[in-house]
Structure 1
Amino acid sequence: MKKFFIPLVVLAFLALSFTNKPKITVYLIGDSTLSIKAVNTYPETGWGMPFAWFFKSDVKVDDRAMNGRSTGSFLKENRWQPIVDSLKAGDYVLIQFGHNDEVPTKKTYTTPEQYVTNLTKYVKETREKGAMPVLITPVARRAFVDGKPTDTHKEYAQLVRDLAKKLDVPMIDLTAKSMALLAEMGEDKSALLYNHLKPGQNPNYPKGKEDNTHFNELGARKMAELVLQGIRELQLPLANYTVDHQ
């Protein structure tokens, strides 16, 4: 029987071709509630930071969210086009805006019509590259009335829900999920999720901090877990790449 010898260089090439398969990139676009934070703002944490650790090495989470951005300012500052240029089939774009779109006194304000137009652009251009858009309603602020959480994103969250239905886009209702978590924890204990600090407690905030919009490490992880829960509920293929998936 003849013996066939495969040159080492061929074996090396084959091994490299199997290990260097393209990674799935999950782009996160949005505002400060999911962005990567500077060291001097610790313990403020965006939910995109712990979210990146939920996946195996096949997946790269690229968090492009930025503090203070709306659907409009993200476009105007040319933060979207570089993502479009890099998108490939099989990638994902998770889209969560609203906090800065909905406030009329902010420079980043977008009307409801502009908000829908901008979200539609993100969805359309993602799909054109063969990637998967996922719309996410704005994560809840800690706002209670008579002991119950109130929805500060009511109009803009509903716009996301309506658009998702119209365009048949996967949607995670993070507004509803995060409000349910706040209700479960209650008005006092829910403060443990946000960037609340007493004077002198942290050198980054010598005068203390009471922020009911941005999260600390615990809050960011809890919100990231809700997003992951939504991905699983939607049965997106991305769910098969979590670290606990067999």
Structure 2
Amino acid sequence: MKILLAGDSTVANCPTEEFPMSGWGAHLAPHVHAWAAVHNFAKGGATTESFREEGLWQALLETAEAGDMVLVQFGHNDQKQQHLAAGAGYSVNLHRMIREIRSLGASPILCTSVERRNFHKGVPVATLADYADAVGSVAEDMGVPVIDLHDWTSKLYAAAGEDGSAAYFTQFEPGTHAHWPEGIEDNTHFNQQGALLIAGFVAERVLELRDGVSEAK
């Protein structure tokens, strides 16, 4: 079995020059290597539209076979384009992706967008809730399972608090990391620690879904 990933930078294998920045997809393989091979097609900056336009979606479909799982997580960059609003182009594109995955005999799994680290007076404030809601609506309409990363990451940040949650992201003071000599304070892109935590959660949910399918058969 293969697990194929479609998504943006929060899922992708980040370039080595951006280390320790990492998408969660880069850390999924060690959790599932005993029963599945991971193929990560995710790319930084991708939307549900650009992923198709750049040929990444076609490459994924050409790799997918019957019985494989295809995990889809977008939203961060779709949000920046009006025609890809949650209830508009974004949802339309997800519907199309699901139909195409199923046509190959593979199993689509939607992931809600991982949340950004965004606090106001110590309280987490959601930035992608409408996209998470859209995923839920599409999933219900199409009968597709959902891995709710928006909810899980929101709770993760809340539990750690405003200061503690910074440990999951790529943040360095100037002069403390060779890759980021001028410093960086990124509240979207994870570091190794954050990406590893999310990958572990995804692996648990994927295993549950795999076992559920096996039992149903």
Q: Provide TM-score, normalisation by structure 1.
A: 0.82
State the 1:76 CA deviation.
1.0
SS at match of 2:56: coil
Q: 1:167 aligns with which of 142, 146, 169?
A: 142
Give the match for residue 113 of structure 1: 88
Aligned residues: 212
Q: Provide the rounded CA distance (Å) in 2 between the counterparts of 1:134 and 1:238.
A: 14
Q: Provide the rounded CA distance (Å) in 2 between the counterparts of 1:239 and 1:46.
A: 27
SS at match of 1:26: strand
Q: Which amino acid in structure 2 is aligned with residue 129 of structure 1?
A: L
Unaligned runs of 5+ in 2: none
Instruction: Kindly provide the CA deviation profile for residues 180-207 of structure 1, in whole angstroms up to 9, marking residues without a partner as x.
Output: 0001100000000000011111111001
Runs ≥4 residues deviating over 4 A: none
**If you compute each CA radius of gyration, which structure gives the higher value, 1 or 2?**
1
Is 1:104 aligned to 2:81, yes or no? yes
SS at match of 1:236: helix
Question: Is contact 2:32–2:203 with CA below 8 Å preserved after alignment?
Answer: no
Q: CA RMSD in A?
A: 1.6
Instruction: Kindly provide the CA deviation profile for residues 30-57 of structure 1, in whole angstroms up to 9, marking residues without a partner as x.
Output: 0000100111100101101111110134
Q: Which amino acid in structure 2 is aligned with residue 32 of structure 1?
A: S
Structure number with the higher helix fraction is 2
Question: Is contact 2:71–2:111 with CA below 8 Å preserved after alignment?
Answer: yes
Give the match for residue 18 of structure 1: none
Give the match for residue 24 of structure 2: 47
Percent sequence identity over matched residues?
Answer: 37
SS at match of 1:102: helix
Question: Is contact 1:178–1:226 with CA below 8 Å preserved after alignment?
Answer: no
SS at match of 1:84: helix
State the 1:138 CA deviation.
0.3
Give the match for residue 225 of structure 1: 200
- Map 1:33-182; keep pairs closer than 5 Å: 33-104=10-81, 110-111=84-85, 112-182=87-157
Q: Provide TM-score, normalisation by structure 2.
A: 0.93
Q: Which amino acid in structure 1 is aligned with residue 90 of structure 2?
A: Y
SS at match of 1:89: coil
